[in-house]
């Protein structure tokens, strides 16, 4: 699967309160959450992005709260994937669980500039920067986690397992 979009760049340690502030967590409706995605970093983010756009960030993206509302908001806003130098542990797992593709890629996080057109091969982890005419390779996702993704997320994976056991 290929993901295409332009880059929106953020810094290091982007926390889940920035991704989706707690004041909006009195709902779990993805469409509502999407409207407030990244609003404390860029109040017009949701208005300005186009479907398929890509978030690019520094180290420790998604640190802080365990709120799954964070990857849910990003996905529902239409962002196709997140590329970062590193991800906070819980966010990484949550993103895989709900089927938001994420890529750990130090070179990409450094080199990509805001507005660059990117093409990401979700299967191989190859990131093409069409604007700068260069490419980077993301760290491979462990095989076990690929099974979860291939099943369509953790819930489908577990549902299949429960059905087979039953």
Partner 1 sequence: MPMTIAEKILAAHAGKDRVEPGQLINAKVDLVLGNDITAPVAIREFAKIGVDKVFDRHRVALVPDHFTPNKDIKSAEQAKILREFAKEYKITNYFEVGRMGIEHCLLPEQGLVGPGDVVIGADSHTCTYGALGAFATGSGSTDMAAAMALGETWFKVPESIKFVYHGKLNPWVGGKDLILYTIGKIGVDGALYKVMEFTGPVIKELSMDGRFTMCNMAVEAGAKTGIIEPDEKTRAYVEGRSKFPVTFYESDPDAKYAEVYEIDVSEIEPVVAFPHLPENTRPVSQAGDVKIDQAVIGSCTNGRMEDLRLAAEVLKGKKVHRDVRMIIFPGTQEIYRQAMGEGLIEIFIDAGAAVSTPTCGPCLGGHMGILAKGERAIATTNRNFVGRMGHPESEIYLSNPAVAAASAILGRIASPEEVD
How far is residue 45's CA from residue 5's CA, in Å, rounded to a whole number?
A: 15
Residue count of the chain, please give it.
166
Quick check: 52 and 122 in contact, CB under 8 A? no
Residue number with CB closer to partner 1 (32 or 126): 32
Residue number with CB closer to partner 1 (26 or 133): 26
To partner 1, the closest distance from the beta carbon of 85 in angstroms equals 10
Residue number with CB closer to partner 1 (105 or 118): 105
Residue number with CB closer to partner 1 (14 or 79): 14
Q: Are strands 126-129 and 117-121 parallel, antiparallel or unpaired?
A: antiparallel
Tokens 């806003």 found at: 77
To partner 1, the closest distance from the beta carbon of 35 in angstroms equals 14
To partner 1, the closest distance from the beta carbon of 74 in angstroms equals 13
Q: Is 115 helix (H, G, I), strand (E, B) or coil?
A: coil
To partner 1, the closest distance from the beta carbon of 121 in angstroms equals 24
Residue number with CB closer to partner 1 (50 or 165): 165
DSSP state of 12: S
To partner 1, the closest distance from the beta carbon of 66 in angstroms equals 4
| Residues in touch with partner 1 (CB under 8 A) | 13, 15, 17-18, 21-23, 25-28, 40-41, 59-60, 63-69, 71-72, 86, 88-90, 93-94, 97-98, 142, 144, 153-156, 158-159, 161-163
What is the residue-wise DSSP string for 19-69? HS-GGGTT---HHHHHTTTTTTT-TTHHHH--TT-EEEE-SSBTBS---TH
């Amino acid at each position: 699967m290929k993901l295409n979009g332009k880059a929106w760049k953020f810094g290091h340690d982007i926390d889940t309160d920035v991704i989706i502030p707690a004041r909006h967590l009195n709902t779990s409706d993805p469409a509502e959450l999407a409207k407030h995605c990244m609003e404390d970093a860029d109040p017009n983010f949701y208005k300005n992005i186009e479907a398929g756009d890509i978030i690019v960030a520094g180290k420790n993206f998604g640190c802080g709260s365990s709120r799954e509302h964070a990857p849910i908001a990003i996905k529902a806003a239409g962002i196709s994937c997140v590329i970062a130098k590193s991800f906070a542990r819980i966010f990484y797992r949550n993103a895989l669980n709900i089927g938001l593709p994420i890529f750990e890629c130090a070179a990409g996080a450094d080199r990509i500039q805001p507005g660059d057109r990117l093409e990401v091969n979700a299967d191989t982890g190859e990131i093409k920067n069409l604007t700068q005419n260069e490419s980077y390779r993301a760290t491979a996702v462990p095989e076990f986690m690929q099974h979860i993704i291939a099943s369509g997320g953790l819930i489908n994976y577990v549902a299949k397992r429960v059905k087979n056991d039953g």
